[in-house]
Every structure is written in C-alpha cells, then in structure tokens.
Structure 1
Amino acid sequence: MVNSAVANVGRWSALAFGLFYGYTHNISLQKQAEQKKVESEYHRKELLIEQARLAYAKKQSGVVDTPASTVTFDVESPDFDLEKFVAQYEKENN
C-alpha cells in the first residue's frame, strides 16, 4: 500500500497544480475577452466610418432619397400635400 506521506504529498501537489492552472487559465480567458472587446469596438467604429463615408458621398452626388420629395396626385390619400402639388403643377407648366 502507498505510504500516507506520499499520498498527502500527491494530494497537495495536485491541489497546488490545480490552483496554478486555474489562475493562469483565468488570466488567459480575461485577455481573450479584452482583445475581443477591443476588436468589436474597432469593428463598430469601422462600420460607423463607412456609413458616414457613404452618406457623405450620397450628399455630395446630390441624390435626394426622401419620400417627401415625391408629389402624391391622389387627393384622398393621407400623404397628399396641396402646396407641393401646386408647386409641381407650376413647375410643369412653366
């Protein structure tokens, strides 16, 4: 049978190794989480910059993408605007 002193040394050694492994593994997981957080923030900023670049290019090209610029000719429609209709009519007849 195994001597009790050898068994105790083995148990304490396993406990110490487990604590060391858990500590180092926890540190590596924290570093990975921090790195992932930094990368996701960088990616979010890249997307915002890309959206701003596209909006600026759209603005500079003069493209109007608002549904309010269209004139509705249906008088019974809730989107009908008399002022826009008259302005469009005057523009077409001049």
Structure 2
Amino acid sequence: MMTVNPLELEGMHFTAVTVELPKTNLLVISNEVGYIMCGALDVDLLNDVLKDRKVIAGRATGVKTIDDLLNAPLQKVTDASKVYGWEPGMTGKEALLKIA
C-alpha cells in the first residue's frame, strides 16, 4: 500500500510518502526544493553519476515511520544540499526547515 499525505512543519508545507513493501517501508518527505528519505536513497549515485542535476537530498537509516524520518539524524547528504546548510547528523526536520 502507498500513502501520500500533506505534512506541515512550523507552518511550512511538505509531502510525506510511505510505500509499504515486503519486510520494509520506503519513506520520503519532500517539497519543491529537495527531500529526505530512508536508507534506500543512494546519495553516492546522486553525487557522482547525477552530479549535474544538483539534487538536494539526505538519507536517514533505521527509520520505519515518517516520524522516525523527521527525528532521525541524517547519515548522509548530497553535496548540493550543503548550500542550504545541510550536514550529516542534523535531524530530518532540521534539514527540511532549511529548504522551506
């Protein structure tokens, strides 16, 4: 099953997507600037192969819900996201508010 819900953080609007897969969930929170995602996100691919696209993205691992994704520290971020002040260790919520 897949769910798509609006998500408001401190008055800023995002979209939260959960895809329930066998034995795992795919989680994404995005807006028109960038997104954070569960461990399925390949940050190295975005930084290396798709570098010219300047994708603003970050990955958190060990998350099972959208709330987990918001509160978990980002394990890895794309090079392009650093323009917005993103860095590994900040929470998903902190990163999203920087692109709101």
TM-score range, shorter chain: under 0.3
Say which one has the larger Rg.
Answer: 1
Higher helix share: 1
Q: Higher strand share goes to which structure?
A: 2
Higher relative contact order (CA 8 A, sep 6+): 2
User: TM-score with structure 1 length normalisation?
Assistant: 0.19
